[in-house]
Structure 1
C-alpha cells in the first residue's frame, strides 16, 4: 500500500463522513438551447440571465453540476422570468439559433463563446453578452453553490442595467 492510500484509509477511519457521497438526482435533465432569440423574447424581461451549461455526454462532472445545482435551479418557480437555464453539448452538430437569429450548431456556438472545457457554465443577458464570470469545471462541492449564487446575483444586476 502506498502512503497516499494509507493516509486516505486513516482519514476514513477518523472521519467516516468523508466516504459519503452526495445523493444523486437520477436522470435530471435540462432543456437544450435550440433558439436563444426565441427564449429571450419569451422571457419578456430584458433583465433575464441565461445560465448555460456546456457539457459532454458521459461527463461525470457535468452530471454533478446538472443534477445537483442547475436542474433544481431550473425547477424553482422563484426563478421564472429571471433565469433561463439551458444545456449545450460542446461537440454537437445539432442546430441552434443564436441570440442574433443566425443559424449555427451547438459546437460552433461553444467555440464562438470560447468554451473549451466541460462543464462550463456561462451567464449571458438576453442579447447574448456575458454578465458574470464563467464557472469552469465542477470545483469543490462545498463552494460550488456559493460560486453559482454569486455569479447569478452579479448577472442579474448587470442584466438589469
Structure 2
C-alpha cells in the first residue's frame, strides 16, 4: 500500500522515521501540545463542515477524538488500540479522525459557522472526559440547524478495550445506530 501526501494526510519527517520494522505502521508522535497523534490523523483547517464533507468525498466518516495532555487512557488508545494493525487499518480506511484538545485554544469553526476555541467547543458539545470520540452523519447538510448535542450519531466517552473499540467504529460505519444501541450491536455480533 503506497503512502500519498496531500492536505489531509501527511506522512513524512518524524513520522516516517518512527516506522516500526515489521509492524507495517507508524508509531504515534508526541506533539508540542503533549498529545500523542497518529501520523494518519486528519490535518485540518479546523472547519468541521469542510472536514465532514471532505471525509464524505473520500468515502469515509468523520470522527473527532478529544484528548488531554497526560491522559493515561488517551495514551492507551494510541499504544494499545491503534497499535493493532486490524484496528488502525479499519479506522484509517473508513474514517477521518480529527484530534482536538479538550482544553485547547485553537480556533475551530463549528457546523453552524460559529468560531470558538477547542475548549469552548468541548463545552458546547458536553464533552467532559478523555478520550471521547464523537461520530457525525455522512453529510453536513442540515447540521447547522440542529442543537450541537443533536448533531452526532454516536459517542464513545472513555476508553474501550480493543475489540469493543473496533466494534464502535464498525457500528458507525455500518450505520447500525439507525436501528439499535451500541450495546445491542455488540451483543448481536457475539451472539
State how far apart, in whole Å, the 2-side matches of 1:138 and 1:91 are: 19
Q: Determine if the alignment matches structure 1 residue 130 to structure 2 residue 142.
A: no
Aligned to 1:120, which of 122, 132, 155?
A: 132
Q: Is the 8 A contact 1:131 1:154 kept in 2?
A: no
Q: CA RMSD in A?
A: 3.4
CA shift in 2, pair 1:74/1:106, >3 Å: farther
Q: TM-score, normalised by structure 1?
A: 0.64
TM-superposed CA distance for 1:96, in Å, is 0.6
Higher relative contact order at CA 8 Å, sep ≥6: structure 1 or structure 2? Answer: 1
Aligned to 1:148, which of 149, 162, 165?
A: 165
TM-superposed CA distance for 1:97, in Å, is 1.2
Who wins on radius of gyration, i.e. which is larger?
Answer: 1
Q: Which has the higher helix share?
A: 1
State how far apart, in whole Å, the 1-side matches of 2:47 and 2:28 are: 27
CA shift in 2, pair 1:138/1:77, >3 Å: closer
CA shift in 2, pair 1:60/1:78, >3 Å: closer
State how far apart, in whole Å, the 1-side matches of 2:43 and 2:101 are: 8
Q: Paired residue for 1:12?
A: none
Task: Give unpaired runs (5+ residues) of structure 2.
Answer: 1-26, 30-35, 144-150, 179-191
